[in-house]
Amino acid sequence: MIINDINIGFIGLGKLGLECAEVFAEHYNTYGYDIYTRDSNSVKICETMEETVKNSDWIFIAVQTPHEEEYGGGVPSAHLDPRDFDYNIVKEVLTDINKYADESKNIALISTVLPGTTRREFDELLDNHTLIYNPYLIAMGSVAWDMVNPEMVIIGSKDANDSRVGELIDIYKPLMENDPRYETGTWEEAEAIKIFYNTMLSTKIGLVNMFQDFAMKIGHIDIDVVTNALSNSTLRVISSKYMSAGLGDAGPCHPRDNIALRWLAKEYNLGYDMFDTIMHAREVQAKNLANFLVAQSELYELPIVIHGKAYKPDVPYTIGSYSILIGYYITEVGHDVLYVDPLTNDELESMQAVVLLAHNRKITYGYTGNEEKDRFYFDIKPGSVLVDPWRKMDLDNTTYRVVHYGNTR
């Protein structure tokens, strides 16, 4: 059934755009324009971009953001200098749309861009419109099916409070064969969800193929036995566990395992070392947080306290403690750091400080059903700055200055 009160337009009818437009055309009057000749039984192909824009209430931009051919992945490219996508086609389209679109038109970009691009590159190109960023999770060969059975629909607006987001969700609902979740936020959040989704898949594929490389080198391993065991581990490995950013990997097992696996990769001449990257990132992330704490300390002229010295709450063990690693980088730049943790015999008197809330029971033990609430390990005086890397403490707290590390809205 065609819903006649909304007209859809697509600029860019290439390998993805045309199939997406044809999905819309099953429910809405849909217009399309491309610089190349296109044919469709359901989309009304326009001769000019102006015609498409003027006939449409919602205009979706589905043009390429290409790299040079050598960056495509079909030939070795890891040695090449890293390079951003080319946004010139998007900019040209937005500039032209700006000429033709009156204030009633809504403009959505579905092309893949890096986080920060829409605000930095595109916003200024539109005089009377604010862009919606709406990337798709679709793959060649199954575009139409992916369109109507998405894992999620991603929608970003300038300040995450654009009323048109709700209107766009209502437009999508008749298309859907499943009941997807709608992830909304700022431009940057939508850009990040899209690109990091792809990166998670690349990382997952790279990891299991690395396990396969080890199997080929070591012998006596059926890689399917290993990967089946891991893929069925839905409590921690394949789950939302460890998908809340906060402090880095810690404890007596994981860091040392990665260090040992670095040796194994070298011993078997694997040819690459993902474990080195993992461990290097872990240390740089700790250094970044340490520098943030030092900056807060200097801003408020307060000492730094790390709240939780053991590698996690309710244990006395400090082997592989991320708190101690952060403390190392704090002292490296000439600042003092204090620890407080009842199980490591680190006690403090009542004081005002910049306090890193390193321990969080719900994050650590929530999957077990443990409902024990977090408590302060010492008397934190009012006016202290509480840096919460888990972003669980109320920002409206009137006793302390609460900072959610990782939230830059």
Domain residue extents for the chain: 3-188, 278-404
Q: What is the rounded CA–CA span in Å between residue 4 and residue 46? A: 18
pLDDT in tens, 200-244: 888 888 899 899 999 989 999 999 999 999 999 998 888 887 777
In degrees and rounded to multiples of 5, residue 153 shows phi and psi of: -110, 125
Query: DSSP code of 137?
Result: -
At residue 74, the pLDDT reads 66
Radius of gyration from C-alpha coordinates of the chain? 26
What percent of the chain has a predicted confidence (pLDDT) above 90? 68
Distance CA 267, CA 233 (A): 29
Q: How many Cα atoms are found within 13 Å in the side-chain-facing hemisphere of 123?
A: 12
CA-to-CA separations, 106 to 34, 55, 61, 84, 129, in angstroms, rounded = 19, 12, 11, 27, 7
Q: Report the 10 Å Cβ neighbour count for 182.
A: 15
Task: Tell me the fold of 278-404.
Answer: Rossmann fold (3.40.50)
Strongest mean pLDDT among 49-53, 100-104, 141-145: 49-53
Strand partners of residue 402: 386
- More confident position, 272 or 118: 118
| Dihedral angle computed from the Cα positions of residues 313, 317, 318 and 320, in that order, rounded to the nearest 10 degrees | -90
CA distance linking residue 308 with residue 310, whole number of Å: 6
Enter the DSSP assignment of 30.
Answer: E
Task: Provide the pLDDT for residue 274.
Answer: 86
339, pLDDT greater than 90 = yes
The yes or no reply on domain 3-188 and CATH 3.40.1000.10 is no
49, burial (CB in 10 Å: exposed 0-12, middle 13-18, buried 19+): buried
Q: Is 325 exposed, middle or buried (0-12, 13-18, 19+ CB in 10 A)?
A: buried
